[in-house]
Amino acid sequence: MPAPDIRAFTHFGFIPLPNFSMIAFTNAVEVLRMAMYLGYETRYRWTVLGLDGLDATASNGLSVPTQRPDPADLPDIVFVCGGIDVETATESPMLDFLQALAAQGVALGSLCTGAHALAAAGLLDGYRCTIHWENAQSLAKAFPKVDFAQELFVIDRDRYTCSGGIAPLDMMLGIVAPRLGPAAVALIASQFIHEHVREEGARQAVPLSARLAHAQPALRDAVQLMEANLGEPLGLDELARLAGTSPRHLQRLFRKDLGASPLRYYLELRLHRARELLRQTDLPLAQVAADCGFRTAAGFSKAYREVFEMAPGAERRQRH
């Protein structure tokens, strides 16, 4: 399915599943409200949909009213809003409805765990998508045709998936940006005291305990040391000594559980941090390189190109 013209989106639909995440839902809606409040757009509107038209109750106990879908007035894009116990909250009539929307050319998205519903309906097969980190591993096993990414939000053609929490704020700002422009996005973000708008490709901050829940303590300790020493990288021997193991054993643990050597994993960790700084701050390139443990700008640029297939300066220019 080709990507729709994101600038044409004016009518947004939200389907709150039982026990949906209120913070994810409201962060998404508030971007649209603020765009209208500030006078940047008068045609934005949103509809909260429910197949039965009854109130939908969030995981925090609060409820929002819904209305039955109007076939003559379908939104341009519809987001499934998930939360806890999403497997039991996703029933066959909802899957049928989502499939019908897709057949009519409606763009589809998800907030928090809502990607489960899209995947269960077969609407993410062959797509990149994301979901809250707590559910990513189980869904990747359940839906092998879906490419799950550990990113805050993913836009792949006509699918717009988001990890949840406050990340919908960033995704919606990215969605309205082509229509409203960067100045409007910056002002909308400032109204929410949101200093750095995170762009597509930014990773979820998955806790170490969740990422390596079943790993040996030496591996967890080594990764924790890496994350705490990005600006002054430790050597393999030092990492192994501080983690209480041998360099050879540490090499085996990294390859077994993380699919990379310790030094390669460490390098990519530093480069992803550099990418965040390039996208979210105005620090000079030399400062970014130094803060991420690179002694020379040339070495930083070479490593950055190898991983991200673009120069650090080009990454920075994409912000503007």
Give me the tens of pLDDT residue by residue for the chain, a chain 320 residues long.
678 899 999 999 999 999 999 999 999 999 999 999 999 999 999 999 999 999 999 999 999 999 999 999 999 999 999 999 898 888 899 999 999 999 999 999 999 999 999 999 999 999 999 998 888 878 888 999 999 998 999 999 999 999 989 999 999 999 999 999 999 999 999 999 997 888 887 877 766 656 676 789 999 899 989 989 999 999 999 999 999 999 999 999 999 988 899 999 999 999 988 988 888 788 899 999 999 999 999 999 999 999 999 999 998 887 65
Closest CA to 159 of 170, 146, 176: 146
Q: How far apart are CA 176 and CA 178, in angstroms?
A: 6
Q: Sign of the C-alpha dihedral, residues 283, 285, 318, 149? A: negative
Identify the structural domains of the chain with CATH numbers, from first to last: 6-191 (3.40.50.880), 209-317 (1.10.10.60)
Q: How far apart are CA 61 and CA 64, in angstroms?
A: 10
In the chain the beta strands, taken as DSSP E runs, fall at 11-16, 45-48, 56-57, 63-64, 77-81, 107-111, 128-129, 147-148, 153-156, 159-162
